[in-house]
Amino acid sequence: MIASDLETAVTRLRELIDAAKVVVPFTGAGISTECGIPDFRSPGGIWTKNRPIPFDEFLSSQEARNEAWRRRFAMEEHFAAARPGRGHLALASLYKAGKSPGVVTQNIDNLHQGSGIAPAHVIELHGNNTYAVCLACAKRYELSWVKEQFAPRGQAPDCPDCGGHIKSATVSFGQSMPEHAMRRAEEMTLSSDLFVTVGSSLVVWPAAGFPLMAKRNGANLVIINREATEFDGIADLVVRGDIGTVLSPLIVH
């Protein structure tokens, strides 16, 4: 059902949440646009400016690694200044009320953690770009350290311990999905009787499989996004509106 107006949609959403035992939110870049972080596919989004660097290119080319870090530091102001928005705060309210066990997210911006959801309960399918890791030995590096190494010559550093390439702790196209996060996302999805996707175009796989998994498992499915998605037809409620506006009535102060 596509709600005809926003007020009806929010009322229906509230009814579904009240009736549910376990609400699992599934978020995408759209929840963070009001926080100043552009999404991928909207006009002005990241893809309209830069072609993504596939994982094999990152591995094989020093220039690709330099470019990846150049882009990351160019975005630093956006990421460092971003604070959780109304959508994040509303989902944190559900979590704090014991209505939701956490969140499954495609986002890499750390804003769910910033909104008060315990890091252990934020399932990051595509990693986190607020720190870096060595691809060979998995040692963690802080961005401040990477920046110090990168700044003088614009050269992406390798791991001083093992010589492996250092990459932001995100999952690039062509890189394998994090097994532990995938398993936990599946468990959380299957535990839900209400699955709410928020701000995702639902075109990136395998992440987009989770709403489908929830629906097939008998959960009600809600899709909140300002554009249509391919899954609207199977959703129990589709809310086409601005995420902050739709979710802010759920914020408990």
Sites of contact with ligand NAD (CB under 6 A): 28-30, 32-34, 37, 39-42, 45-46, 106-109, 126, 199-201, 204, 225-227, 242-243
Question: Any alpha helices (H) in 30-156, and if so which ranges?
Answer: 46-49, 55-60, 62-74, 76-81, 86-96, 111-114, 143-150
- Tell me the pairing of strands 166-170 and 127-134: antiparallel
If DSSP codes are grouped into helix, strand and coil, which group holds residue 128?
strand
Choose between 192 and 201: whose C-beta lies nearer to ligand NAD.
201
Contacts of 101 (CB under 8 A, 6+ apart): 22, 24, 95, 121, 188, 191
Q: Which residue is nearest to ligand NAD (CB)?
A: 30
Look up 165 and say whether it is catalytic: no
CB of 222 to ligand NAD, least distance (A): 13
Choose between 45 and 116: whose C-beta lies nearer to ligand NAD.
45
Choose between 105 and 159: whose C-beta lies nearer to ligand NAD.
105
Q: Which of 148, 160, 125 minimizes the C-alpha distance to 73?
A: 148
CB of 110 to ligand NAD, least distance (A): 8
**Annotated catalytic residue, options 126, 165, 180, 253:** 126
CB of 33 to ligand NAD, least distance (A): 4
| CA gap 223, 206 in Å, rounded | 17
Known catalytic residues? 126
